[in-house]
Structure 1
Amino acid sequence: MNLAPQDLEPSLQMYPETLGHAPGRGRLQGRRVLVIGAGQRPIPEVNPPVGNGRAISLLFAREGASLACVDMSAPAVEATCEQIDREGGSAFAEVADVRDASSIAPLVHRCAERLGGLDGLVLNVGISRALPLAKQSAEDWDEEYAVNVRSHMLFSQAALEVMAPGSSIVLMSSLASQRNTGRNPAYESSKAAQVSLARAIAVAGEPKGIRCNSVLPGLMDTPMGRDATRRRPGRAAAVPFGRQGTGWEVAYTCLFLISNESSYVNAHALMVDGGLGVGVARA
């Protein structure tokens, strides 16, 4: 079937995995994983899309992992754990503000002890004040870096102390790390720093066989993505396949990188953007 770009139905490029409807296949059976940013922000919609952190947590549980789910919002992370419990998975919730540097190492050690060890860490937490350069303050800049970069360094530092050999760490960066079209310099530069930090963590983890990679989502239909679209209504006009990505598509990417299926993938920055970052776009 040959279709002109304007005739392409987005559903032609969507699958059960795209929507989180595929059954688990035991790909993380027995693994013990800590997910930071496992809740999701509330948005003013009746049926909000799933966020990356919740999708990652649900998918990992379906695939057999035991999870420690962390978020700064108790209702959000508890809702994630309740859904995992309803599906027969194993997860417990912790509430933490990653801006508090002194709380991070004790949290990692506490979660690892309760899980009986630690094989995986996904750092999904991040913020964006969406401020252009002319409106940046030192305080706003420092807060974005404290959440988006410093916390990732401290979590990884603590995790490397307790992780089993052969474990895996994933940092959630963004396509914004590769291009500065959003006029959002603190977010864009902090996301670029995450890519470099992931490589540094991979170097530090190599003696124990611990891998670290970064994931770079593009324009996604998540609560954070919809907030961005409300600020910039035309931002997704040229997305590939006529649709934005889903939280589940990010989750499956993280599943691959946390699992042993990616045992020789290390220090890599993996784009999940439909090809938008290299110029694939709607006509």
Structure 2
Amino acid sequence: MTGLLAGAVALVTGASGLIGRGIAARFARAGAAVVAHGHRGDVSALVAEITAAGGRATGLRADLADPDACRRLVRAAAEWGGRLDAVVNNAGVQPVQDLAGMTAEQWRAVLDVNVTSAFACTQAAAEVMAAGGSVTHVASVEGRQPAAGHAHYSASKAALVMHARSAALEYGPRGIRVNTVSPGLIDRPGLAEEWPDGVERWARAVPLGRLGRPEDVGDACVFLASPMASWITGNDLVVDGGITARPTW
């Protein structure tokens, strides 16, 4: 994929996390200049890694629970790059809380970070993007199949899919495409030790026989931002090793 996005400028939110880091690294590998966003997490090592490999990158901080901060972030990314071709709305939180005991504040905290940030960043991106621009939300297979303790998270991911479809409809005439990527279970260090039964169940059920990797999500996002996807918008690209193809009965 080297050179697929040569000359492009991409903003990846939540790039301090495992998936966001993987997405940003794949954009850089495809030739894009990368704006790596972080809030509490540090993105300096990621920026240094991209730069050392001959790429161009910078890090920006913002609290994406604040819509105004989202808009400032997008404008700063466009100013740094001299343009903005792609935004990946990856930032999100995934707390566990039983629905019966969930407070309205806990509900709003997840929706604000996972959905409102994508709304605000997309709106701001559409103001600075030229025709051919791409916005991708990172949703989840839980937007289709919820898990216990994730009512707020699952609802937020389902909302991202519908927001992307709505934005695709409204921004399409301006040449801006909006899609979602819905990952399945992505591996990380220590996951098998922390959740052995869940990892074992997934590995048994998934047709391709493994957990996902951050680069699997990154490759899907790069594809959707590239000219290869120039006639794809309003689509949800499921990246789950085939797990949702299994019958649920």
* Deviation string, structure 1 residues 189-233 (Cα, Å, up to 9, x no partner): 110000000111111211211000000001111369669736956
User: Which residue of 1 is the match for residue 238 of structure 2?
Assistant: 271
Task: Please point out which of 12, 37, 58 is paired with 1:70.
Answer: 37
Which residue of structure 1 aligns with residue 218 of structure 2?
251
How much is the aligned-residue C-alpha RMSD, in angstroms? 2.1
CA contact (8 A) 1:199 1:212 kept: yes
TM-superposition CA deviations, 1:104-130 (whole Å, max 9, x none): 112211110111011100011110111
2:79 paired residue among 113, 138, 143? 113
Which residue of structure 1 lines up, in the alignment, with residue 160 of structure 2?
194
Partner of 1:27: 4
- Tell me the matched-pair count: 247
Report if aligned partners of 1:52, 1:222 keep a CA contact under 8 Å in 2.
no
Q: So what's the TM-score if we normalise by structure 2? A: 0.93
How far, CA to CA, are the matches of 2:39 and 2:197 in structure 1?
Answer: 24
Shift of 1:239: 2.5
Distance in 2 (CA, whole Å) between partners of 1:226 and 1:198 is 33
Distance 2:33 2:142 in 1: 31
Q: 2:123 aligns with which of 157, 160, 164?
A: 157
The structure with the larger Rg is 1
CA distance in 2, matches of 1:138, 1:63: 42
Q: Check conservation: 1:220, 1:244, Cα contact below 8 A.
A: yes
Contact 1:274 1:280 in 2 (8 A): no
CA contact (8 A) 1:216 1:272 kept: yes
Show the counterpart of 1:177: 143
Shift of 1:55: 1.1
Alignment correspondent of 1:82 = 48
- Report if aligned partners of 1:37, 1:53 keep a CA contact under 8 Å in 2: yes
- Map residues 127-166 of structure 1 onto 2, 5 A cutoff: 127-166=93-132
Q: CA deviation at 1:89?
A: 0.8
Residue number in structure 2 paired with 1:126: 92
**Unaligned 5+ runs, structure 1:** 1-23, 41-50
Q: State whether structure 2 residue 15 is matched by structure 1 residue 38.
A: yes
- The answer to whether the 8 Å contact 1:214/1:269 transfers is yes
Contact 2:192 2:199 in 1 (8 A): no
**Partner SS for 2:195:** helix
Q: 1:233/1:31 Cα in 2 relative to 1: closer, same or farther (>3 Å)?
A: closer
TM-score, scaled relative to structure 1: 0.82
3-state SS in 1 of match to 2:178: strand
Q: CA offset at residue 88 of structure 1?
A: 1.2
3-state SS of 1:197 partner: helix
Range moving further from structure 2, 269-278 or 225-234: 225-234
1:78 touches 1:93 (CA, 8 Å); kept in 2? yes
Match of 1:94 in 2: 60
Identical counterparts, % of pairs: 37
SS at match of 1:242: coil
